[in-house]
Amino acid sequence: QVQLVESGGGLVQAGGSLRLVCTASGLTFSSTIMGWFRQAPGKEREFVSTITWSGGDTYYGDFVKGRFTISRDNAKRTVYLQMHSLQPEDTAVYYCAAATFRLRPITTWSKASEYNYWGQGTQVTVSS
């Protein structure tokens, strides 16, 4: 059974930082595309970032503007999202997602429909 467990969310002041962590089990992690999405109340789920199986290629949503960094440690079956310069508009539930690797342009992985597995989410709240 595939499980994705997110942690690291919380309450932070504007301008602060958080590091989200997602640990996977039940899948061949080293051959899996990993992504982060977020969903704010009343809004659709939004693409944040994705990383290829080797970690050699990453892609970010336009709103990130260099503030976030995605990375992964295949030995630990973990993907990270380091977030800096957080703003109130970053407040959302952040979800980790996994997709079976297929040879596609990395932009493919900005679509939530491409992912097979999802975590339960971790709340990030940024106060002004």
Per-residue pLDDT of the chain (128 residues; tens, 9 = 90+): 999 999 999 999 999 999 999 999 999 888 899 999 999 999 999 999 999 988 889 999 999 999 999 999 999 999 999 999 999 999 999 999 999 888 889 999 999 999 999 999 999 999 99
Rounded Cα–Cα distance for residues 116 and 105 (Å)? 17
The region that residue 26 occupies, defined by phi over 0 for left and psi between -120 and 50 for alpha, beta otherwise, is left
Q: Tell me, what DSSP letter sits at residue 42?
A: T
* Spatial separation of the C-alpha atoms in residues 83 and 74, rounded to whole Å: 20
Q: Is 73 helix (H, G, I), strand (E, B) or coil?
A: strand
